[in-house]
Amino acid sequence: MDRIKQLAKEYAAEFIQIRHHLHAHPELSYQEYETSKFVQQKLGEYGIPFEVKATTGVIGIIEGKNPQSRTVALRADMDALPIKEQNTVSYKSQNEGVMHACGHDVHTSCLLGAAKILSQLKNDWEGTVKLIFQPGEEKNPGGASLLIKEGVLQNPAPQCIFGLHVNPQLEVGKLSFRSGKVMASADEIYITIKSKGGHAAAPHLTADTILIASHLIVSLQQIISRNNNPLSPSVLSITSFQGGTTTNVIPSEVKLMGTFRAMDEEWRAKAHQLIRHHATQLVQAMGAEIALHIDVGYPTVYNNEALTTLAKNIAEMYMGTGNVEETEIRMGAEDFGYYSQRIPACFFRLGTANAAKGITAGVHTPLFNIDEAAIETGIGIMATLGAQVSF
């Protein structure tokens, strides 16, 4: 651990520059062509064999002593968001309208740094570390699901997996962990309500799609309030209402869009059935037709209790007990959930805020940035988990 900490400090400036390069050249989900080439180039420089999966994903393998004794996977996502950056920094995005506003440039830089250290020290630790540089975290169906279909959890099969994510609400120099349910599933809801339309002064001659949609929006909330266990977090939000173009016409079509979030996979499946049944019955009872589609997205992120306790203990030894906190439950989603539903997983947070320097902007905003001292922490903890965890 001391050697890893020393190398993380020594290499921090190098990987801050790598982060600058990645930040300046962001690419959208499933379009990470240059980012993938850059990662491949770096792994080649470190003497780490790799293969490409799901077009832009890069999977590296580092073998220590007795490589068959264990396999640990370390994952970083690489895609950016369709956001126009407003930061005035030397490494500002050069791709107009695209920005690393969720810290995936940080994740990739930290995993590259950990890879360099683990490769350099491969005679000092046992087992195999699988590096997963993943595309498409920000967009369905999720790069994790594509990599899993292409066998990323096989040959060799990891016994566990770790993922790191920036946290702009957590001060730099800190990490946070949580066992059990950590992040919600995320499904998209698309509803179209149709009738023949008609004159606004003669609503009795048609089915009023605006009124029907309004009733539906309100009544759908009872799916959560009267069917879900109130101790299990869940959210249903209708976020778009499109219909009508003038004051005297009842439109023939109204479109609704929204999102459904849950922390329990069994309840999630039941809620889908309830939403479909309730919406169909209400709309038809009011005289209109309905087309409803639920685009099933990422599953819940579930941190294996034993693995997370082990990782937290290692982090406390690495960082000091006072610098390791508990992650709060979030209703946001992460495609890391696909991994966590299949093998023991631990998804933890890296503190990147510095209130004294004014670095507090949230992720998915045009002013998001980090205190880059976090890079050293991220490199070190990922390398340490890769080298020390046996599960």
Say if CB 236 and CB 224 are below 8 A apart: yes
Q: Amino acid letter at 357?
A: K
* Closest of 95, 96, 83 to residue 138, by C-alpha: 83
Tabulate helix, strand, coil % of the chain (nearest 5): 35, 30, 35
Dihedral sign (CA 299, 300, 306, 309): positive
Say if CB 272 and CB 342 are below 8 A apart: no
Dihedral sign (CA 96, 98, 103, 105): negative
Cross-strand pairs, 52:
58
Does the annotation mark 318 as catalytic?
Answer: no
Cross-strand pairs, 269:
none
Does the annotation mark 372 as catalytic?
Answer: yes
Say if CB 139 and CB 83 are below 8 A apart: no
Question: How far is 336 from 317, CA to CA, in rounded Å?
Answer: 26
Question: How far is 136 from 147, CA to CA, in rounded Å?
Answer: 10
Question: How far is 254 from 239, CA to CA, in rounded Å?
Answer: 13
DSSP 8-state symbol, 159: S
Phi, psi angles (nearest 5°) of residue 316: -65, -35
Catalytic pick among 298, 302, 338, 339: 298
Query: Would you please indicate which residues are annotated as catalytic (active-site) residues?
Result: 298, 372
